[in-house]
Structure 1
Amino acid sequence: MQLKEVPALFMRGGTSNALIFLQCDLPEEPQARDQVILSAMGSPDPYGRQLDGMGGGISSLSKVCILAPPSRDDADLDYTFGQVSVGDALIDYGGNCGNMSSAVGPAALDLGLIACPPDGEATVRIHNTNTGKIIESRFPVCAGQLEPGGDLAIDGVAGTAAPIRLSFLDPGGTKTGALLPTGRAVDRIELPDGRVVHASLVDAANPCVFVDAADLGKTGAEDPGTLEADTEFMAAMEAIRCIGSTRMGMTADLHAAAAMPSIPKVAIVAPPVDCTTLAGKVVPAGKVSVMVRMLSMERPHRAVPITGSVCLALACRTPGTLPHKFCTTTKGPITISHPSGTILVDGDVDTSGEAPRAVSGSVFRTARKLFSGTVHYVAED
Structure 2
Amino acid sequence: MTQLRIKASFIRGGTSKGVFFHQKDLPDDINERNKIFLRILGSPDYNARQLDGLGGGISSLSKIVVVALSDEKDIDLDYTFGQVAVDSPIVDYIGNCGNLTSAVGPFAVDEGLLSVPDGEVSLRLRNTNTGKVIISHFRVEEGRAVVSGTYKLAGVQGTGYPIKLDFMSPAGSVSKEILPSTKALDFIEVEEIGTVEISLVDVSTACVFVSASSLNLDLFVNTHNLSEKIAFMDRLEDIRKIGAIKMGLSPKSLSIPKLIIIDSPKTYSLPDGTDIKKTDINLTSLALSMGKPHKAIPLTAAMCIATAAKIPGTIPNRLINLSRSNKNMVNIGHPSGIFFCEPNFKNGHLDYISVIRTQRRLMKGYAFY
| Aligned-residue offset at 1:147 | 0.9
Does residue 243 of structure 1 match 2:242?
yes
Are the aligned partners of 1:277 and 1:283 in contact in 2 as well (CA < 8 Å)? yes
| Aligned-residue offset at 1:235 | 1.4
CA distance in structure 2 between the aligned counterparts of 1:306 and 1:222, rounded to whole angstroms:
23
Aligned partner letter, 1:108: A
Aligned partner letter, 2:226: L
Are the aligned partners of 1:199 and 1:211 in contact in 2 as well (CA < 8 Å)? yes
Unaligned runs of 5+ in 1: 252-256
Residue correspondence of structure 1 range 220-259 to structure 2 within 5 A: 220-222=219-221, 225-251=224-250, 257=251, 259=252
Match of 1:120 in 2: 119
TM-aligned CA distance change 1:288 to 1:358, over 3 Å: same
Aligned partner letter, 2:161: A
RMSD: 1.4
CA deviations 1:63-98 (Å, max 9, x no partner) are 000011214223111110000011111111111111
Aligned partner letter, 1:299: K
Are the aligned partners of 2:44 and 2:89 in contact in 1 as well (CA < 8 Å)? yes
In the alignment, which of 329, 339, 345 is matched to residue 343 of structure 1? 339
Does residue 176 of structure 1 match 2:167?
no
Match of 1:83 in 2: 83
| Aligned-residue offset at 1:358 | 2.5
CA distance in structure 2 between the aligned counterparts of 1:367 and 1:180, rounded to whole angstroms:
32
Are the aligned partners of 2:281 and 2:331 in contact in 1 as well (CA < 8 Å)? yes
In the alignment, which of 328, 332, 350 is matched to residue 328 of structure 2? 332
| Aligned-residue offset at 1:194 | 5.2
Match of 1:295 in 2: 288
Secondary structure, in 3 states, of the residue corresponding to 1:3?
Answer: coil
Does residue 74 of structure 1 match 2:45?
no
CA distance in structure 1 between the aligned counterparts of 2:85 and 2:367, rounded to whole angstroms:
19
Match of 1:370 in 2: 362
The more displaced of 107-116 and 242-251 is: 107-116
Aligned partner letter, 1:109: V
TM-aligned CA distance change 1:337 to 1:18, over 3 Å: same
| Aligned-residue offset at 1:231 | 2.4
Aligned partner letter, 1:142: E
Aligned partner letter, 2:174: K
Aligned partner letter, 2:243: G
CA distance in structure 2 between the aligned counterparts of 1:232 and 1:12, rounded to whole angstroms:
34
Residue correspondence of structure 1 range 143-292 to structure 2 within 5 A: 143-193=142-192, 195-222=194-221, 225-251=224-250, 257=251, 259-292=252-285
Aligned partner letter, 2:257: P
Match of 1:3 in 2: 3
CA distance in structure 2 between the aligned counterparts of 1:194 and 1:269, rounded to whole angstroms:
17
CA distance in structure 1 between the aligned counterparts of 2:237 and 2:222, rounded to whole angstroms:
18
TM-aligned CA distance change 1:127 to 1:225, over 3 Å: same
Match of 1:15 in 2: 15
CA distance in structure 1 between the aligned counterparts of 2:108 and 2:138, rounded to whole angstroms:
13
Aligned partner letter, 1:278: P
Identity of aligned residues (%): 41
CA distance in structure 1 between the aligned counterparts of 2:100 and 2:223, rounded to whole angstroms:
21
CA distance in structure 2 between the aligned counterparts of 1:365 and 1:293, rounded to whole angstroms:
20
CA distance in structure 2 between the aligned counterparts of 1:120 and 1:301, rounded to whole angstroms:
35
Are the aligned partners of 2:84 and 2:90 in contact in 1 as well (CA < 8 Å)? yes
TM-aligned CA distance change 1:351 to 1:220, over 3 Å: farther
Match of 2:351 in 1: 359
